Amino acid sequence: MGYEYYFNQLSIFLCHLRYERNYSVRTLKTYCDDLVQFERFVFCSEGFDMRTITSSVIREWIVFLMDRNYSPRSVNRKLSTLRSFFRYLYRNGQIESNPVKGIVGVRTGRPLPYFVRDREMNTLLLDLSKGEGFEDERDRTILEVFYSTGIRCSELVGLNDEDIDFESCLIRVTGKGNKQRLIPFSKTLEEILSYYKTIRDETIWDVSKAFFVREDGRSLNYNIVYRIVKKRLSDIPNLPKRSPHVLRHTFATSMLNNGANLNAVKELLGHSSLASTEIYTHLTFEELKKTYKQAHPRA
């Protein structure tokens, strides 16, 4: 069971994730990189044999990563990849025992996500509304959609004209695992989306089926949207991180700060577990503490 057998099983595992679990190409690349890195560690240290991989080997790999200054979060993500892979091999009878079973991840304090305050967000969007031309209107609409719906960047890139119901004010998005959900939006956003679509159709003759496009009519991709958001958020001072996910955090934080039910926010975000949404309750509590310290005379 040398490294050739390992890579054969790796290819089968990745096909399983792609075609049976509907994982994205980006996620598959991360899984592949992690598993190749693990193979190199084991092969270089003692030769590669699937039967000799034990829990102690997994722990040595964790120490190896920590010694090379990988963050606890990165180590735990890589460990999660190994856990999925070896569980798959065990269930399919390729190995007699699962070496990752019982391995505990590296303890880490979960960092609170960055977000933009409502006042700063409203100022930014107001400034963007004064822009001219197709690109300015498109960029403004992209930020409005992120802020108003909390969708992921991949979900925004995947939006087609048919996914936006202007009459009912609903957006149909396809999330992780090809799961679809409907997200309501306001009349204000409906007007912004309609205006962008009018400008788009007047400016670009050959438009793809994608709702958000480039000036040549082709659909946007993840990297382009990331650069757009990073550029536009640069107008907000003292924001440590500028990305589409910051706007997703902003949406969730704003909803909870204004009295939204936690389960409702979970459904809107497309989280499979309430635990993923609960981090925003800690975030809003931190805001309450900060407000108290700033406002109360005895704080």
Active site residue 282: no
Residue 11 CB-density burial (10 A; 0-12 exposed, 13-18 middle, 19+ buried): exposed
Active site residue 271: yes
* Residue keyed to tokens 């190749």: 36
**Which one from 18, 77, 176, 218 is the annotated catalytic residue?**
176
Please state, as a whole number, how many other Cβ atoms lie within 10 Å of the Cβ of residue 99: 21
Q: What secondary structure, in 3-state letters, does 225-273 show?
A: HHHHHHHHHCCCCCCCCCCHHHHHHHHHHHHHHCCCCHHHHHHHHCCCC
Identity of the amino acid at 260: A
Given a contact cutoff of 8 angstroms between Cβ atoms, the answer to whether 44 and 67 are in contact is no
Active site residue 172: no
Active site residue 248: yes
**Three-state DSSP state, 109:** coil
Residue 65: its H or E element = helix 55-67
Given a contact cutoff of 8 angstroms between Cβ atoms, the answer to whether 183 and 173 are in contact is yes
Active site residue 110: no
**Which one from 152, 200, 232, 266 is the annotated catalytic residue?**
152
**Which one from 23, 147, 196, 280 is the annotated catalytic residue?**
280
**Which one from 138, 248, 249, 266 is the annotated catalytic residue?**
248
Given a contact cutoff of 8 angstroms between Cβ atoms, the answer to whether 166 and 194 are in contact is yes
Chain centroid to Cα 156, Å, comes to 12
Given a contact cutoff of 8 angstroms between Cβ atoms, the answer to whether 88 and 16 are in contact is yes
**Which one from 16, 181, 218, 271 is the annotated catalytic residue?**
271
DSSP 219: B
Active site residue 176: yes
Residue 171 CB-density burial (10 A; 0-12 exposed, 13-18 middle, 19+ buried): buried
The two three-digit tokens of residue 131, written as one number: 């822009």
**Pairing of β 170-174 and β 164-165:** antiparallel
Q: Catalytic residue positions? A: 152, 176, 245, 248, 271, 280
